[in-house]
Chain A
């Protein structure tokens, strides 16, 4: 790789780190303005004044906010995310498994969804405006337009309750074999695939169609290349940057936006973990999860940027 690329990449990463730092401040500030108080939230309906006061003191809720911020940041930088206020468990340990579960699910959804979306996009372009194109676009749009929970419930109804092919709940745990895990996540992965498919497919189609208007594509067509060769050799490589962008966006969604699917399929991932702790005002956990989500978003965006730069030589030489 040439020097300008390395410099550009380094720049992006540095920017990303700065951005993450800024996000950390925002997250911390955001958690401070949540209504209510963590002690009250933990004890819920059974809170008595004595138990409230005891818990507040024990949780150190009396220090000023900026001290708690730097304390927290220092911990994060040394890999210590603190302990959950509500259960007293080490956050890093709890998150490790949850994050792994979320990534596992996202990975398999992506493995299916991304190639499928791109291939369908290519096919749609090849037969653009014909019935194949319309069918693909129609089905993809339909699956995206249904809310996730509806798709999830449909899958559960047919595959778990009616035909009993796959389990209705996708609880995964340590000690499960790889095959069992895969079987457990078939339905949620399918639901996620259906949810993200259309977006990627439509963007692929639009990006390639955009390139298809160019003069060099016309030249290629005039040379007598077959329609698929034109798309594969000339149009697709030039449309790759926007496609990668939308793929990364959807990958990020697969990690941070799957709360509903996790709830329906009882999948022990990050989303459910975050929701539980938000309702308990468990600030350290909310902060840690927020930071991880932000990091996922920022790194995927950096990857998309870098991939676009690598794919398109013109971006390497800004004018």
Chain B
């Protein structure tokens, strides 16, 4: 059976059999459509990329207020377009390994405090200038400047000095950090000529596409950069285009109508409908992103661990996963780490247990209703999720009062301000990064007010630990602590759900972010 399908899939790639016939044949052999599609894509990959054409994406997450300055990139469109024109120092491979890009080699001192980046020869910027160690150093300087508005400032502050000499950049850290190379894969750190200090929004870097049109909130067009240093790996289409389509229905219609080749953020509730459209492939895969309810550990009544435990036990995760995400996700376990992290360890799954919840609730001594704030923008389906939570908690005798907040202003007025609300996290590339961003006592985004000196010590120790087994154990202990004593209720990890139209090949499953970690337009091609 497999032989036959292999043969047929090669015929499709060669253009001797229509895709539709192939899918029909595969169905007759009892093969599911996603599997048949993946067979096709691997056959197409084996046949090699096809050059040419215009690849278009219709994406949510762009506004007329966007800028090309990498420091200010926040939403999906600047992120995905940035990966097309920008080149990184290092990148995470789809398998989670470090992939050297502008840096040819990265080495550290034994204590993980001094790091040396060797800059690759012969990479060229779009303006014809060669990428030098000075440019890399300037880029890092700009993003680690205290006055910077960079989204990467939080972790770049840990760098004490940056020195460029010859072909090398030497970084000295304030504290040892074994994860430094992972931090350098942050999508804000696009290398620019002189670090972008002269004109940060010029849109010039060394990526596979040159910025041709930049109309924020409307569309962005890139033209293949002839001198891209890895032309065989990326930049297959002659031109790429991002059209900003924030309305979910319009986005789906554009894919179905053939105006775009790929879209992001397909809503779980319509995935099954879209799957039936001929030629459309759903590209869903799990990542570190998660949907949460957060309690402030230092605010009554949430300053009582029994009450927190009661609320954690009173949520029906399975039901929420099935009803809100329609199964496009995985169960959460009240700590923000899952298998997409390199040093993840399994911990016993917490289950919905109304009796135990009732016990802890009684023990906490709290009485009366608890106010939970939610909003459509907290995460897709957050209002429904809150209502489900209300019902499952009621069975444990806990009365939740749901307050629906306006989406406008939610992140200023509610998140990180009110003691109990719905929210989401996109996740980070390493455990250290995730815990440092949101669970260290000093973290600006410590949205659960989890302030534990003993936990902080563990984070710092793990950061400096180079022995992987020991580190794994440390992260395990930290996870248990957050799970059993923290203010985080994490019912589910969401999947990224993208979709592609007919003819799109070369899709790479990448757990780090949506759209092949933003590289979909750069890595995919149009089959002839």
- Whether A86 is near chain B, meaning CB under 8 Å from some CB there, is yes
- Whether A266 is near chain B, meaning CB under 8 Å from some CB there, is yes
Among A46, A50, A164, A276, which residue has its beta carbon within 8 angstroms of that of B64? Answer: A276
Q: State in angstroms the CA–CA spacing of A156 and B412 once bound together.
A: 36
Among B149, B201, B445, which residue has its beta carbon within 8 angstroms of that of A54? Answer: B149
- Whether B413 is near chain A, meaning CB under 8 Å from some CB there, is yes
- Please determine whether A157 and B253 come into contact, CB atoms closer than 8 angstroms: yes
- Please determine whether A263 and B247 come into contact, CB atoms closer than 8 angstroms: yes
Q: State in angstroms the CA–CA spacing of A168 and B151 once bound together.
A: 35
Binds B, one of A36-44, A124-132, A140-148: A36-44
* Binary flags per residue of A20-62, CB closer than 8 Å to B gives 1, else 0: 0000000000000001110011111110111100110000000
- Whether A173 is near chain B, meaning CB under 8 Å from some CB there, is yes
- Please determine whether B413 and A46 come into contact, CB atoms closer than 8 angstroms: no
- Please determine whether A167 and B259 come into contact, CB atoms closer than 8 angstroms: yes
Given A36-B412, A265-B250, also A173-B256 (CB < 8 A) = no
**Number of B residues, CB within 8 Å of A:** 44
Q: Find chain A residues with CB under 8 A from B150 CB.
A: 51
Report 30 cross-chain contacts, Cβ distance below 8 Å, ordered by A residue. A35-B409, A36-B412, A36-B413, A37-B412, A40-B412, A41-B412, A42-B65, A44-B411, A45-B415, A49-B444, A50-B146, A54-B147, A54-B148, A84-B65, A87-B64, A88-B67, A156-B249, A160-B256, A160-B257, A161-B256, A167-B257, A169-B257, A173-B218, A263-B250, A266-B243, A268-B215, A272-B217, A273-B64, A277-B64, A277-B65
The residues in A between 267 and 300 inclusive whose CB is less than 8 angstroms from any CB of B are 268, 272-273, 276-280, 282
- Whether A307 is near chain B, meaning CB under 8 Å from some CB there, is no
- Whether A137 is near chain B, meaning CB under 8 Å from some CB there, is no
- Whether B244 is near chain A, meaning CB under 8 Å from some CB there, is yes
* Binary flags per residue of B48-62, CB closer than 8 Å to A gives 1, else 0: 000000000010000
- Whether B245 is near chain A, meaning CB under 8 Å from some CB there, is yes
Given A87-B64, A169-B243, also A276-B148 (CB < 8 A) = no
- Please determine whether A87 and B67 come into contact, CB atoms closer than 8 angstroms: yes
**Number of A residues, CB within 8 Å of B:** 46
Q: Find chain A residues with CB under 8 A from B253 CB.
A: 156-157, 160-161, 168-169
Task: Give the 7 A-B residue pairs with the shortest CB-CB distance, closest first.
Answer: A86-B65, A168-B253, A168-B257, A268-B218, A48-B444, A160-B257, A276-B63
Q: Which of A37, A161, A264, A265 has the largest number of chain B CB atoms within 10 A?
A: A161
Among B219, B249, B444, which residue has its beta carbon within 8 angstroms of that of A171? Answer: B219
- Whether B467 is near chain A, meaning CB under 8 Å from some CB there, is no
Chain A interface mostly helix, strand, loop or mixed?
helix
- Please determine whether A266 and B247 come into contact, CB atoms closer than 8 angstroms: yes
Q: Find chain B residues with CB under 8 A from A42 CB.
A: 65
- Please determine whether B64 and A272 come into contact, CB atoms closer than 8 angstroms: yes
CB distance from A126 to the nearest CB of B (A): 40
Q: State in angstroms the CA–CA spacing of A88 and B213 once bound together.
A: 17
- Whether A107 is near chain B, meaning CB under 8 Å from some CB there, is no
What is the chain A residue whose CB lies nearest that of B69? A88
Q: Find chain B residues with CB under 8 A from A40 CB.
A: 412
Given A51-B153, A156-B253, also A273-B217 (CB < 8 A) = yes
* Binary flags per residue of B184-216, CB closer than 8 Å to A gives 1, else 0: 000000000000000001000000000001011
- Please determine whether A94 and B64 come into contact, CB atoms closer than 8 angstroms: yes
Given A36-B412, A87-B65, A88-B201, also A173-B246 (CB < 8 A) = no
The residues in A between 241 and 282 inclusive whose CB is less than 8 angstroms from any CB of B are 263-266, 268, 272-273, 276-280, 282
Given A173-B218, A268-B218, also A51-B257 (CB < 8 A) = no
- Please determine whether B247 and A264 come into contact, CB atoms closer than 8 angstroms: yes
Q: State in angstroms the CA–CA spacing of A297 and B222 once bound together.
A: 39
14 extra interchain contacts, Cβ-Cβ under 8 A, other than A87-B65, A169-B260? A45-B415, A48-B444, A51-B149, A51-B153, A54-B149, A86-B67, A153-B249, A156-B249, A157-B253, A167-B254, A167-B257, A168-B257, A173-B215, A266-B244
Q: State in angstroms the CA–CA spacing of A103 and B67 once bound together.
A: 26
* Binary flags per residue of B404-431, CB closer than 8 Å to A gives 1, else 0: 0000110111010000000000000000
- Please determine whether B219 and A280 come into contact, CB atoms closer than 8 angstroms: no
A-B Cβ contacts below 8 A, count: 119
What is the chain B residue whose CB lies nearest that of A94? B64
Q: Find chain B residues with CB under 8 A from A48 CB.
A: 153-154, 444-445
What is the chain A residue whose CB lies nearest that of B426? A45
What is the chain A residue whose CB lies nearest that of B71? A51
What is the chain B residue whose CB lies nearest that of A49? B444
Q: State in angstroms the CA–CA spacing of A51 and B148 once bound together.
A: 7
What is the chain A residue whose CB lies nearest that of B153? A51
- Please determine whether B250 and A156 come into contact, CB atoms closer than 8 angstroms: yes
Q: Which of A84, A87, A89 has the largest number of chain B CB atoms within 10 A?
A: A87
CB distance from A297 to the nearest CB of B (A): 23
What is the chain A residue whose CB lies nearest that of B151? A46
Given A44-B74, A44-B411, also A169-B64 (CB < 8 A) = no
Q: State in angstroms the CA–CA spacing of A37 and B154 once bound together.
A: 22
CB distance from B381 to the nearest CB of A (A): 18
Q: State in angstroms the CA–CA spacing of A265 and B250 once bound together.
A: 7
Given A44-B74, A94-B64, A153-B249, also A50-B153 (CB < 8 A) = yes
- Whether B231 is near chain A, meaning CB under 8 Å from some CB there, is no
CB distance from A87 to the nearest CB of B (A): 5
The residues in B between 140 and 165 inclusive whose CB is less than 8 angstroms from any CB of A are 146-151, 153-154
Q: State in angstroms the CA–CA spacing of A37 and B413 once bound together.
A: 11
CB distance from B65 to the nearest CB of A (A): 4
Q: State in angstroms the CA–CA spacing of A43 and B71 once bound together.
A: 11
CB distance from B491 to the nearest CB of A (A): 20
CB distance from B199 to the nearest CB of A (A): 11
CB distance from A90 to the nearest CB of B (A): 13
* Binary flags per residue of A70-89, CB closer than 8 Å to B gives 1, else 0: 00000000000000101111
CB distance from B377 to the nearest CB of A (A): 10
Q: State in angstroms the CA–CA spacing of A273 and B201 once bound together.
A: 20
- Whether B387 is near chain A, meaning CB under 8 Å from some CB there, is no
Q: Find chain A residues with CB under 8 A from B244 CB.
A: 266
- Whether B66 is near chain A, meaning CB under 8 Å from some CB there, is yes
Q: State in angstroms the CA–CA spacing of A51 and B250 once bound together.
A: 35
- Please determine whether B74 and A263 come into contact, CB atoms closer than 8 angstroms: no
Q: Find chain B residues with CB under 8 A from A50 CB.
A: 146, 153
CB distance from A115 to the nearest CB of B (A): 30
- Please determine whether B66 and A87 come into contact, CB atoms closer than 8 angstroms: yes
Q: Which of B64, B146, B244 has the largest number of chain A CB atoms within 10 A?
A: B64
- Please determine whether A266 and B245 come into contact, CB atoms closer than 8 angstroms: yes
- Whether B122 is near chain A, meaning CB under 8 Å from some CB there, is no
Q: State in angstroms the CA–CA spacing of A44 and B75 once bound together.
A: 10
Q: Find chain A residues with CB under 8 A from B258 CB.
A: 164
Q: Which of A48, A94, A263 has the largest number of chain B CB atoms within 10 A?
A: A48
